[in-house]
Amino acid sequence: MSITVTSLMQQRRDTAANWTSNNPTLLNGEIGYETDTGYLKIGDGSTAWTSLAYVEGTKVSAYPLATVDIADDAITAAKLADTAVTAGSYAAADITVDAQGRITAAASGAIGTSEITDGAVTSAKLDTNITIAGDLTVNGTTTTINSTTLTVDDKNIELGSVATPTDVTADGGGITLKGTTDKTINWVDSTDSWTFSEHVDLASGKEFQIAGTSVLNATTLGSGVVGSSLTSVGTIATGTWSASTIAVDKGGTGQTSYTDGQLLIGNTTGNTLSKATLTAGSGVSITNGSGSIEISATGSGGTLTSVDVAGGTGLTSSGGPITSSGTITIDLDNTAVAAGSYTAADITVDAQGRITAAASGTISTAEIADDAVTAAKLADTAVTPGSYTLSSITVDAQGRITAASSGSAISGDKISEGNTEAEVVDTGSDGHFKVTTEGVERIRVGPAGQIGIAGANYGTTGQLLSSGGASGLVAWVDAVVIVDGGNFANGSSLATSSGAIDGGSFT
């Protein structure tokens, strides 16, 4: 007996988006089908849908296969049918290509001149080493040589070789070495000379010559250099001065000859040094010799025999005259002033500077110079020296401070009274105004006008200020609507009375 069972097998199925969103784990061997893509996955009992791979070969866009379904490099040479062309290398090949772009015939050929475009042969197309049997003529504007060393067998290199060369065509010509700045040797027609942009450093033992004659080496000017316009020199160790006489204003004497005993004396006329000799006066003998001057007294043996001393002009004398030796005593005459001490004295002085009359006096206001009475001249008061801030002071009849004490300082940025302050704070980035009571900040107005409680506590968007009563603190609270039957109120307690709610919605 045979039994035929007719049944319909239906697999799990859903859109790709729903599979991904739900991300189920298929049973081992269970099939999952994406209804909108046609792709399949087979479960392994442990891997979730998004981590499960599609069945190989099922994820293709269409049949026959589209280009997107073929992986890059999937078609290798082994998958292509052979053509009639013989595999190999062909030089300058003549080829035949079929509709599929395959070469079906190939033969080596040759490239003729007509097949090479003008300018097609660049430096990259030339062999590394090229030898040209004949002359090389370059007619371009610029010739660039990128070799490290340029070797030229010719002894002479011509520059500026135009059809009709002149100094004008040569102007600016020369050699330029590229560096951070150009290093140049150029011919300048306006100066009729070669011009170097950098220093010229000759090797040791070499020198500059003009017409075959040395003019300068490392240490010496050439003997042919006889003229100069030097304005300063260093220390001259040796040499002979053979030029004109050096004037006084140049450090010289302005003189060329002297006689015995002559001295140089300053002369304001012409700012010069004049020659002079010493001249003897009464009782003095002067002998001017070659490099020497002798001064002596005239008379018998040159000895002073006597000196007489006279009184007068307030002086008295005794013991004179002196003949050969002795002592002279000179005294001042007494005056009518009584010897003693005088306070704030009124005095009389004679022509010799002596006090001839004196009496004590008093100093008047007119006799005291401005600022003459300094702090050291004033008697001390009871006040203690020091600095007082916002001081309370007591002043006597003479205008002196006799008592002082410091007061309370007031900041330019705050108003204070006891432990209560209102202060403006400017930090440059968070300027604000704050109110402090009992030493604690209570309210702050921020830089954007926001209100802060107990500092920079500005609350969050939508919050409300809540009173803490007569002795409590103000605080930020969230806005709350409480509905109790038909009554509602803001905050944590119901209103004592409110209208009934009939329809509507609350957020």
- Mean pLDDT to the nearest integer, 355-365: 80
Asked if residue 447 has a cis previous peptide bond (ω within 30° of 0), the answer is no
Tell me, what's the pLDDT at 311? 57
- Quick one: pLDDT at residue 323? 58
pLDDT value of position 495:
45
Mean pLDDT of 348-369: 80
Work out the average pLDDT over 204-214: 91
Q: What is the pLDDT of residue 178?
A: 92
**Paired tokens of 391:** 């001081």
* Beta strands 31-34; 12-14: pairing state: parallel
How far is residue 446's CA from residue 470's CA, in Å, rounded to a whole number?
Answer: 26
Domain final residue pick, 49, 73, 97: 73
- At 372, which amino acid appears? A
Helices (H), 104-178: 167-170
Res 499 pLDDT > 50? no
CA distances from 354 to 170, 346, 454 (A): 99, 14, 87
Average pLDDT over residues 321-334: 64
Mean pLDDT of 428-441: 82
What residues have CB less than 8 Å from 29, skipping those under 6 apart? 42, 43
pLDDT for residue 199: 94
107/295 Cα distance (integer angstroms): 131
In the block, tokens 């340029």 appear at 150
Q: What band does 325 get if pLDDT is binned at 50, 70 and 90?
A: low
- Flag whether 257 is in a domain: no
Q: 352 or 246: which carries more pLDDT confidence?
A: 246
Asked if residue 427 belongs to a domain, the reply is no
Question: Which of 22, 51, 73 marks a domain boundary?
Answer: 73
Picking from 357, 390, 408, the residue at the C-terminal end of a domain is 408
In a domain, 49, yes or no: yes
Whether pTM exceeds 0.85: no
State whether residue 228 is helix, strand or coil: coil
Question: Per-residue confidence at 314, pLDDT binned at 50, 70, 90?
Answer: low
Q: Which amino acid is at 78?
A: A
In angstroms, the first-to-last Cα distance of the chain is 74
* pLDDT tier, 92 (very low <50, low <70, confident <90, very high otherwise): confident
Indicate the range of 203-207, 462-466, 503-507 predicted with least confidence. Answer: 503-507
Are 464 and 477 in contact, with CB atoms under 8 Å apart? Answer: yes
pLDDT score for 182: 94
pLDDT at 17 (0 to 100): 96
pLDDT value, residue 315: 62
Range of the domain at 27: 12-73
Instruction: Tell whether 22 is covered by a domain.
Output: yes
Residue 187 in any domain: the answer is no
Quote the percentage of the chain above a pLDDT of 70.
Answer: 83
- Which residue, 504, 475, 476, 473, is CA-closest to 488? 504
Q: Which residues pair with 276 in a beta bridge?
A: 263
Residue 47 lies in a domain: yes
The string over 358-389, giving b where at least 16 C-beta atoms fall within 10 Å of a residue's C-beta and e elsewhere, is beeeeeeeeeeeeeeeeeeeeeeeeeeeeeee
Name the phi and psi angles at 160, rounded to 5: 65, 35
Q: Which two tokens stand for residue 265?
A: 């004396």
Q: Which of 162-176, 251-265, 266-280 has the highest mean pLDDT?
A: 162-176
Rg (CA), the chain: 62
In this structure, is the dihedral angle defined by the CA atoms of residues 22, 25, 27 and 32, taken in order, positive or negative? positive
Q: How many domains does the chain have?
A: 2
Residue 206 belongs to a domain: no
Higher pLDDT, 297 or 349: 349
In a domain, 65, yes or no: yes
CATH number of the CATH domain containing 68: 2.10.10
Is 171:194 a contact under the CB 8 Å cutoff? no
- Write down the pLDDT at residue 496: 44
DSSP state of 114: G
Question: Which range in 155-159, 177-181, 329-333, 377-381 is most confidently predicted, on average pLDDT?
Answer: 177-181
Q: What is the pLDDT of residues 4-58, one digit of tens each?
A: 766 677 889 999 999 999 999 999 989 999 999 888 999 999 999 999 998 877 7
Count other Cβ atoms within 10 Å, centred on residue 401: 14
| pLDDT band per the 50, 70, 90 thresholds, residue 329 | low
C-beta separation of 461 from 455 below 8 A: no
